[in-house]
Structure 1
Amino acid sequence: MRVLRYLVILTLVLVGPVTAQETGGTGEGTYGGSEGSYGGEGTTSPGLSVANRVATPQQVVMRLNAIPEFCSSSGAYLVDCMAERMEQLAEGMSGLSGYQDARKTIGETAANLRKIARDNRDPQAPRAVVQHSDANTKSSRPLVAVASTRKRQAAAAAVSALEEAETILLRSAAQSTARAVQYQQIAAALGSNKVLLRSL
């Protein structure tokens, strides 16, 4: 058996029905309304740390490119794993000046992916925390599993969400001469996650 350099462990967390934690709670940054906000300025989630803060657009690209590596072994939890990684990235971008549009797009994409996972969830599967074997990186919240009978539908919807986000980011690139290259790189990195979704 080939030894994977990055082993992903699913730690099952029995926390009751998924819907029980999807309403109300604090720290659940969501986009909504006409303007949209990611939990408001200064809010943090349980997984946010100094290491999670993003200081440059290059770090945004690196974090987006790292999502497949982190989520590749998450199986039925893949869509929500991607959603959680993008949630954390969007929150970490709160202090990155000049990239508000990118942050908003990534945050909205995370919310869309999370909704797709919930809408296609497996009611029999427990929520789970995805964690690397070194325990230094793990998902900031328990993730929702997609039902095996709905994985193709969920994957197709998730790919569409990423394609829409790419289009928005490229439009932002066209409107910002100073940051055009950076927005194009962010769009490409986000879009690269479609490859993993198509293997679901």
Structure 2
Amino acid sequence: MKTISAVSVLALGMQSVWGTPVFASPVLPTPTLEGVSGSTYQIECHDGFDSETEEGSINPILRGVEKLYFAGCDDTTGDDKPTSPKETREVTRSIETVNDRCDDVPLRLRIDCIAQRYEILAQSPDLTGEYSEVQEALQSAASRLRALAEEAGEPGGAKERLTVERNGKATPVGRPLTPTSPAKQAEAFAAAIQIIEETETMLLRSAGTSKRRQVSYQRIAQAMGSNKVLLRS
């Protein structure tokens, strides 16, 4: 929870009684509130607050003021779809399902299987606003992993299609996958792990200075990092 100083609480209480609107100034790093008499009151933005929400509540004894929006404590623009705990959980769960989808796939198809899953996840309509960098990261990782699978495959080798059993019949799903050559598999797996790690770093750097986004992007990067277990079997 964002905290405000005792002086600020008193000032806000007086302003709420007088009916004066209270707004957080966009000035960084210590945004201010303008008092009715022209005085300036500091809002303290500490590292320990819940960075996944922009709402900050103050002492409920101050009648007429229940919640404030600390716009100056974040760098989110009004045009962005902000990250949120709920949306972030959905994104991380989707990335974690890559392990379930590709775990039973033969080792020779693992790299391209991960690439295919990232391609599908990147098409999610939910990856907009502040999640757009996640979409870009998934697209980039998918493209690089697919190219790696092609490079590590047997020259002229046949692609393989995954199947699922439906009504007692094996039904092909997804695009054909490129198997890696046994002779190149160890080297290709190491390169694939490096691609995922570089994508994790890309995500963390994309979070910017927003502590809320940093928390969300850290969790998403961790979820992607869990996919590396598929390449260490």
Which of the five TM-score ranges fits, normalised by the shorter chain?
A: 0.5 to 0.7
Aligned residue for 1:89?
Answer: 121
Equivalent residue runs for 1:144-163 within 5 Å: 144-163=178-197
CA contact (8 A) 2:109 2:177 kept: yes
User: Does structure 1 residue 171 correspond to structure 2 residue 214?
Assistant: no
Aligned length: 144
The residue type equivalent to 1:158 in the other structure is: A
Same amino acid, percent of matched pairs:
34
Aligned residue for 1:72?
Answer: 103
Deviation at residue 198 of structure 1 after TM alignment: 1.5
What is the distance in 1 between the residues matched to 2:225 and 2:129?
23
Which of 209, 217, 224 aligns to 1:190? It is: 224
Deviation at residue 105 of structure 1 after TM alignment: 0.8
Distance 1:172 1:139, change over 3 A: farther
Deviation at residue 95 of structure 1 after TM alignment: 5.1
Residue 211 of structure 2 aligns to a residue whose secondary structure is: coil
Which of 134, 138, 145 aligns to 1:102? It is: 134
Deviation at residue 174 of structure 1 after TM alignment: 4.8
* Aligned residues: CA RMSD: 2.3
Greater relative contact order (CA < 8 Å, ≥ 6 in sequence): 1
Deviation at residue 133 of structure 1 after TM alignment: 3.5
What is the distance in 2 between the residues matched to 1:93 and 1:187?
19
TM-score norm. by structure 2 comes to 0.56
TM-score norm. by structure 1 comes to 0.65
Q: What stretches of structure 1 of length at least 5 have no aligned partner?
A: 1-54
What is the distance in 1 between the residues matched to 2:222 and 2:158?
33
What is the distance in 2 between the residues matched to 1:95 and 1:160?
24
Deviation at residue 129 of structure 1 after TM alignment: 2.1
Deviation at residue 94 of structure 1 after TM alignment: 6.1
Which of 57, 65, 70 aligns to 2:88? It is: 57
CA contact (8 A) 1:129 1:141 kept: yes
